[in-house]
Amino acid sequence: MTSLLFEPLTLPNGTVLPNRICKAAMEENLAVQPGQLPGEKLFSLYQQWADGGAGLILSGNVMVDPSALTGPGGVVLQNGTDLAPFKHWAKLAKSGGGQFWLQISHPG
């Protein structure tokens, strides 16, 4: 008998997760300075989590305003931000077959 934990899960919006394992959102504080972008430390960490086979990986805080960070190494995504590092981050985080969702954060 296979555990339900390893069975696909269809969400109400139709998204299918390959299993029911979720890497919860954590605040990593590993953004590249200056710029507050995802870089090698985040890439490596999320690649390891993807290799673990989680069906859903939630990012740590991704702030929309650089003047309101929750920590010294917070990631910022705002109008005009170079999307290339974010696309690479997403590609690595999804490489194990699961979903990768950004936790978009704003302090107010």
pLDDT in tens, 74-83: 999 999 999 9
Chain segment 88-108, per-residue pLDDT in tens: 999 999 999 999 999 999 876
Q: Which pLDDT tens digit goes with each residue over 36-48? A: 999 999 999 999 9
**Distance between CA atoms of 39 and 56, rounded to whole angstroms?**
21
CB 58 within 8 A of CB 22: yes
- Report the alpha-carbon distance of residue 6 to residue 87 in Å, rounded: 27
So what's the pLDDT on residue 1? Answer: 59
